[in-house]
Every structure is written in C-alpha cells, then in structure tokens.
Amino acid sequence: MTEHHKDHTPTKVSSITNIQEMLNEANQLRTKYEQHFKTKIPSRIIGWWDPVNIANNPDELSRGLRKMEQDINKAIMTNTPFKEIPEKIWNDIVF
C-alpha cells in the first residue's frame, strides 16, 4: 500500500508498472496540449522532472506529473502556449 503526503502525492512508488502508468499519463497530457494548441509541446523548456532520476526517485515523477497537469490546464484555460527557451540560451544551460 502506498502512503500519501498531506497533499495526496504518493510517498513511495515502488514498481516499474507505476512509473510506466505515470509516463502514460504524461503522454495523455502532452496529447491534450497538442490537440488544443495544434502543435507539440516545445522541446526547449525546463520540464517537470529529471528523466535520469525517475528510476531512483519516482516520487519526483509523481510530483512533476501533478505540476505538469496544472501547467497544461492553465495554459489551455488561458489559451497561452508554453514559451520555448531560445536555442542560444538553451545551449548555454548546464544540466
């Protein structure tokens, strides 16, 4: 059984199945954004989780997914697409 924080985010996500389910949910959110704005989510944005960390820190993915959902819903409600970071600036960012 998964315990939850006060904000109802899971405190532990132990299986790869749960990670895959969350990634599927992220894909559904991307599709929702793309259908509304008729374009893909920009690739040069600071995302909601570090893809390198999700296997070792699935809670980051869970929290990031909730934030992604909030941001996409806000973008759609205000009809304001995400701004892409200019390539020059993007190339200077150290990840």
Quick check: 1 pLDDT over 50? Answer: no
Tell which wins on pLDDT, 68 or 19: 68
Quick check: 76 pLDDT over 90? Answer: yes
**Whole-structure pTM value:** 0.76
Q: What is the mean pLDDT of residues 7-15?
A: 54
In total, the chain counts a number of residues equal to 95
Q: What is the mean pLDDT of residues 21-31?
A: 95
Q: Where are the domains of the chain?
A: 16-92
Residue among 69, 74, 52 nearest 9 (CA): 69
Residue among 47, 52, 62 nearest 93 (CA): 47
